[in-house]
Structure 1
Amino acid sequence: MSFISLFLGAILVAFVFYFFSYFRSKIRNGQQDNTSLPPGNLGWPLLGETLEFLRTARNGMPGKFITDRMQKHSTHVFKTSLLGKPTAVFCGPEGNKFLFSNENKVVVTWWPTPIQNLFPSSIMASTGHDTKRMRKVFAAFFKPDSLQRCVGTMDAVTKLYLQSEWEGKGEVKVFPMVKYYTFSLACSLFTGIEDPEYISKLSTDFNILLKGIISFPLNFPGTRYNHAIRAANRLRKEFQVLIEQRRVDLSERSSSSSPKHDLLWCMLTTTDENGQLMTEKEVLDNILGMLMGGHDTTSCALTFLMKYLAELPHVYDEIFKEQMEILTTKEPNELLTWEDIHKMKHSWAAANEAMRLAPPVQGNFRKALSDFTYAGFHIPKGWTLYWSVNSTHMNPDYFQEPEKFNKSRFEGNGAAPYTFIPFGGGPRMCPGKEYAHLEILVFLHNVVKKFKWETVFPNEKFIVDPLPTPAEGLPILLHPH
């Protein structure tokens, strides 16, 4: 039997399995009684409305799937089927608040199959007690005292990066350049890896891994999911060697030597309330997950912030003024401090507005732990639940003229609760939020004080696959001060 015949046969078996699973779940969850369920459309068997969900994102309209159905069905909650699961999409600040505040009570975090399989024991896929234990480990690195030690290192690395990669060039592509910069910084601060050639090698596999985390879990040669599995296996082998060496260093370290207080060190030395260390599998899954999340989202935020500052000279001028005021208080070559970061209020407001307009993460999933009622509709146990930034970020009820860049929305009292959620919310809020805050502002300080810039393609299209990406990489023309 040929390989093609085997391949097609496997697809047919998988389709039949999911087809019957789909209808079995319809009967079990009482979907024949559509009057009690949220309004909406479950779409095709197996596929549901997944293709439309992904298509609108890849066409640069990630909010269209959500807003169209909010207008057609309900502004509170509607049903659909995504990634093979019947799904209730919760909308507006009330929906966000409900999901964020009921973690491990009514709902629990759920991740698509690729993420569950690629990072099975990471903080992303963990729930309940495991989540609390993992978060204690990450708190040791991401707490303010630890991050304060990173400011000077970030500033020094950023200066050298811009000097070697940007200075003397008339044009650069922002997205790939910033993506490599944030990955290099994450490698250095999270794991102590600083060799540029080795970082470049790791970066290739991380890019493959990212493409596969939101995909159909078909593990056949040539599929994104298969490529992601193979990339994850290669990365695990690389980091297993690093972890083994770090354990040896920890066991042989004399009391007078200084340990590397990076994220990997925290993972290897921090115990839970029972005195247990993370297992090697947990360390591997979490270091891969944090390296991926610790650079991809911030690279998107920085890219779109650069885009808006190029398009809006008056906003750039205000940011430039703020950063120059900070610079006048410092000696030549003096590095930034934690106190300097907290002076960058206008800069952070601009960064927030960029993340509102182009959020790095479009939303996330939960799962119903039991039957419950929301907004007068029945939500069955086992259904997946989805919150989306687009139900509030681009909603004129919460942000007047939402398509316009207006950083004043985040000055003063800022946005209303549960309307601005680029980092999620509740106990599952992104543990690296403050790290991202720090990284964005350190980069912005250094790039603004050196350059002004303009975009090569003012109306450049962007796609979401799975994160927002400019179609041409956002090439810009640099104008040094």
Structure 2
Amino acid sequence: MIMEFSLLSIVLFSITLYYVLWIVFIILRRNKTDDNEKLRYLPPGSFGWPFVGETLAYFRAAKRGVPEKFTVDRRNKYSSDVFKTSLHGEPMVLFPTPEGNKFIFSNENKLVKAWWPRNFVKVFDISQKTTIRDEATRMKKLMFPLLLKPNSLIKYVGIMDKATRDHMKTYWDGKEVIKAHELVKKYAFTIVCKLFLNIENPEIIAKIEEPIRHVNSGLNSLPINLPGTKLNRAIKSSKKIKEEIEKIVAERRADLVENKGSPAKDIVSELLMETYDNGQPINDSDIAKLLNGLLVGAYDTVSTTLVCIMSFLAELPDVYDKVFREQMKIANAKASGELLNWEDIQKMKYSWNVACEVLRLTPPSAGAFREVLTDFTYDGFLIPKGFKLHWNVYATHKNPKYFPEPEKFEPSRFEGNGPVPFSYVPFGGGPRMCPGNEYARVKILVFMHNVVKNFKWEKVFTNEKILRDPTLAPEKGLPIRLYSHEPQVI
């Protein structure tokens, strides 16, 4: 009886398994048929090698100093303004035109949503319960007012100017040769720590800065989280940064409770007074998480632009002279020791055109990614749900159709009506435009004012290149010879 029951169980199990496998086979075959049908309507292109796709070719072009080559080669090969590829292990489509940029930016949370490569999710510990869209929305809601409201920016000008003067007096004055990249990064991060955390202690700043270097290195590495890999170091370093920030936040909260600190003197203090949608105060861990991402994001972006500005001004004496005259006109109108103000920043029109041209040629970010929410067609091609999109800065910034003689440094491109809409996108666009773009403008112009007012310089290695590996940096750290000059009346 037992034997018959066992035999019956085996037979029933076999029959059930057979039908389950048959159903799975039918579904897979149907899906495969559907997928094959869809493949006919995809944009031209290649998914490259298994797992890595064309990621290595993408980074190889950037490392050689010609990041635009990746898109240019494929547009020419496929004779199309839309093409498919595979980056970061994901099927991806590029729309490398101003129209493509506009389409992506204007369809945020309609046809596409924010997406970051796996490394970003792991390093910044985005909860499985919280979507990337939710995380991005919360970050924007909290940080936009703190970085963009007029009172904050107006207040930051004087703080930045004083910090810049102090930095140059300590690290630049009296030096014959400096490594500009190293000092500019130190300067930029010191400003960030002052404004965001109200921290000026070099030891505390160093505790945060060192792990940030590992984080940036790991974000664009292979997505392998094993001991000793760049990604593993980045994850551990991100936790260290968050722990250090949590200590600062806890101390600041205690000071506010005991009325030892003045309200809203930095972004930490302002965040401590913010609330969730339910009215509850934001907890220390979430504040630390927000600031962790903000500090990492701010670490290389502005400093990269500043060091590139110094490189171009060293190569272009005529441009330097025009910037110098504009800045000295502002400096000579001020009383001795008087700091820059918001009105001064608005007068730096030529200097900002120079900075914009630097951002066109050497943008700190190569672009960003989106995930497709639902099937749609673009330019006659099917873009399937789940595919990723990549808007690439260099695709338009280096295209002669939108910027004639694209390798020529020409600040006048930004006079009058400026470039073709959506062709110039160093800060992105649409709802997800970088929230710190105005903050970056102020910081860049304050630095330009101080550096040209005090120095002229020349490159030690005249042919030194700026390469992306994975972030932009001068090959040899941009050593420069400094020549001090006295402020003069123009």
Match 2:347 to one of 343, 346, 361: 343
Q: 1:75 deviation in Å?
A: 4.3
Contact 2:38–2:382 (Cα < 8 Å) also in 1: no
CA-to-partner distance for each residue in 1:134-154, whole Å, 9 max, x for gaps? 323212311121111111110
Contact 1:138–1:266 (Cα < 8 Å) also in 2: no
**Are residues 1:289 and 2:293 paired?**
yes
Contact 1:136–1:272 (Cα < 8 Å) also in 2: no
Structure 2: any 5+ residue segments left out of the alignment? Answer: 1-27, 486-490
Give matches, 1:343-382, under 5 Å.
343-382=347-386
Match of 1:411 in 2: 415
Match 1:170 to one of 169, 176, 181: 176
Match of 2:40 in 1: 35
CA-to-partner distance for each residue in 1:237-283, whole Å, 9 max, x for gaps? 211211211221222227xx622421122222122554244343332
Q: Give the 3 Å change call, closer, same or farther, for CA 471–320 of structure 1 in structure 2.
A: same
**Are residues 1:453 and 2:457 paired?**
yes
**Are residues 1:47 and 2:52 paired?**
yes
TM-score between the two structures when normalised by the length of structure 2:
0.89
Q: 1:222 deviation in Å?
A: 1.9
Task: Report the secondary structure of 1:396's partner residue.
Answer: coil
- Aligned letter for 1:395? N
CA distance, structure 2, for counterparts of residue 74 and residue 418 of structure 1: 22
CA distance, structure 2, for counterparts of residue 85 and residue 198 of structure 1: 39
Match 1:233 to one of 230, 236, 239: 239
**Are residues 1:325 and 2:322 paired?**
no
User: If you compute each CA radius of gyration, which structure gives the higher value, 1 or 2?
Assistant: 2
Give matches, 1:4-153, under 5 Å.
27=32, 30=35, 33-121=38-126, 127-128=132-133, 130-142=135-147, 143-153=149-159
Q: 1:96 deviation in Å?
A: 0.4
Q: 1:305 deviation in Å?
A: 0.7
Match of 2:15 in 1: none
Q: Give the 3 Å change call, closer, same or farther, for CA 387–27 of structure 1 in structure 2.
A: farther
CA-to-partner distance for each residue in 1:30-84, whole Å, 9 max, x for gaps? 2565330000000111111111111221222221111111211244210001111
CA distance, structure 2, for counterparts of residue 353 and residue 29 of structure 1: 47
CA distance, structure 1, for counterparts of residue 345 and residue 419 of structure 2: 21
CA-to-partner distance for each residue in 1:181-219, whole Å, 9 max, x for gaps? 101110110011110122123211111110111122211
Q: Give the 3 Å change call, closer, same or farther, for CA 247–373 of structure 1 in structure 2.
A: same
- Aligned letter for 1:310? A
CA distance, structure 2, for counterparts of residue 118 and residue 280 of structure 1: 19
- Aligned letter for 2:60? R
Match 2:206 to one of 193, 200, 203: 200
Q: Give the 3 Å change call, closer, same or farther, for CA 106–186 of structure 1 in structure 2.
A: same
Contact 1:75–1:92 (Cα < 8 Å) also in 2: no
CA distance, structure 2, for counterparts of residue 148 and residue 93 of structure 1: 33
CA distance, structure 2, for counterparts of residue 455 and residue 298 of structure 1: 20
Match of 1:160 in 2: 166
Contact 1:121–1:281 (Cα < 8 Å) also in 2: no
CA distance, structure 1, for counterparts of residue 138 and residue 303 of structure 2: 28
Give matches, 1:179-190, under 5 Å.
179-190=185-196
CA distance, structure 1, for counterparts of residue 32 and residue 427 of structure 2: 36
Q: Give the 3 Å change call, closer, same or farther, for CA 116–306 of structure 1 in structure 2.
A: same
CA distance, structure 2, for counterparts of residue 60 and residue 70 of structure 1: 19
Contact 2:95–2:390 (Cα < 8 Å) also in 1: yes
CA-to-partner distance for each residue in 1:344-385, whole Å, 9 max, x for gaps? 000000000001001100011000001110110001100011
**Structure 1 residue runs of 4+, over 4 Å off?**
26-29, 125-130
CA distance, structure 2, for counterparts of residue 417 and residue 46 of structure 1: 36
Match 2:475 to one of 438, 460, 471: 471
Identity of aligned residues (%): 48
- Aligned letter for 1:117? K
Contact 2:372–2:389 (Cα < 8 Å) also in 1: yes
Contact 2:246–2:285 (Cα < 8 Å) also in 1: no
- Greater displacement, 176-185 / 53-62: 53-62
**Are residues 1:437 and 2:444 paired?**
no
CA distance, structure 2, for counterparts of residue 389 and residue 71 of structure 1: 18
How many residues align? The count is 454
Q: 1:130 deviation in Å?
A: 4.8
Contact 2:126–2:132 (Cα < 8 Å) also in 1: no
CA-to-partner distance for each residue in 1:440-480, whole Å, 9 max, x for gaps? 00000000000011111122123212221111011111111
Q: 1:29 deviation in Å?
A: 7.7
Task: Report the secondary structure of 1:147's partner residue.
Answer: helix
- Aligned letter for 1:72? K
CA distance, structure 2, for counterparts of residue 223 and residue 154 of structure 1: 37
